[in-house]
Amino acid sequence: MPTGLFDLGEKVAVVTGAGSGIGAAIARVFARQRARVVVLDRDEAAARRTVDEIGAAGGQATASACDVADGEQVARVFGRIVADEDRIDILVNNAGIAHVGTIEGTTEADLDRLYAVNVKGVYLCARAALPAMIKRGGGVILNMASIASLVGVPERFAYSMTKGAVHTMTMSIAIDYVKQNIRCNCICPARIHTPFVDEYVARHYAGRERETLAQLAAYQPIGRMGTSEEVAHLALYLCSDEAAFVTGQAYPIDGGVLVA
């Protein structure tokens, strides 16, 4: 049981893209720290699996299907959360999609798809959560950016564009709502070893999985990829009262990439 440090104390935390990977880890860690977690994911079955894991560990969580790129659906889901819980204390905008390619290898459809999820999705969810936070006198928004919003990463043109937008949206929300006691920060991970990474490597590098994973690990000077739980622990700090003086910041969790 939590001892008080980083205790989320019955706060309502909404985590998007929490059906797997980093989002699921954040949901589990927040629930362990006594938050009531609302797990959102396009894949409702995946969201329910995260909720089942949380319930089995004694935590509180509910699941809803939500496509963060669909404005009507976001408004409906967040309206239901506020009706059921009467509050939203924490929003973690974790849902996102990846793309590999230079500008020449990025189609207009690719760009539109990345923008819709990674940029518009953050905008829609933050806009939907803010009125409830303002009404209750404060809250925390945490966005998932990327190391690609801070440095150049080869063949990540569209992805870097979207994560740069997440970074600047974070600063804008922070300055616009600081007087309403709403904090907004973002996390900038380097490569994190998630099931998505394993699936992507298996699909695109069949027969070279071990070599490819080794290359992904070597990108970080520390010699490995990060874990979802490591990102979740940073998220816990930034969403807790212990981080009450922190807003408008981008926090790298990168295994030494920025100092190499």
Q: Would you write out the chain's pLDDT as a tens digit for each of its 260 residues? A: 546 899 999 899 999 999 999 999 999 999 999 999 999 999 999 999 999 999 999 999 999 999 999 999 999 999 999 999 999 999 999 999 999 999 999 999 999 999 999 999 999 999 999 999 999 999 999 999 999 999 999 999 999 999 999 999 999 999 999 999 999 999 999 999 998 899 889 988 999 999 999 999 999 999 999 999 999 999 999 999 999 999 999 999 999 999 98
Residues for the chain: how many in total? 260
What pLDDT, on a 0 to 100 scale, did the predictor assign at position 3? 60
Burial zone of 232 (CB within 10 Å; 0-12 exposed, 13-18 middle, 19+ buried):
buried
What pLDDT, on a 0 to 100 scale, did the predictor assign at position 1? 53
Q: What is the dihedral of CA 128, 239, 69, 231, to 10 degrees?
A: 180
Q: What is the pTM of this model?
A: 0.96
Q: Which two tokens stand for residue 185?
A: 């920060």
What pLDDT, on a 0 to 100 scale, did the predictor assign at position 196? 86
What pLDDT, on a 0 to 100 scale, did the predictor assign at position 235? 98
What pLDDT, on a 0 to 100 scale, did the predictor assign at position 10? 85
123, 159, 205, 219: the catalytic one is 159
DSSP H or E segment with residue 253: strand 250-253
Burial zone of 111 (CB within 10 Å; 0-12 exposed, 13-18 middle, 19+ buried):
middle
What pLDDT, on a 0 to 100 scale, did the predictor assign at position 4? 83
159 is catalytic: yes
Question: 10 vs 28, 61, 89, 190, CA distance in Å?
Answer: 14, 11, 10, 31
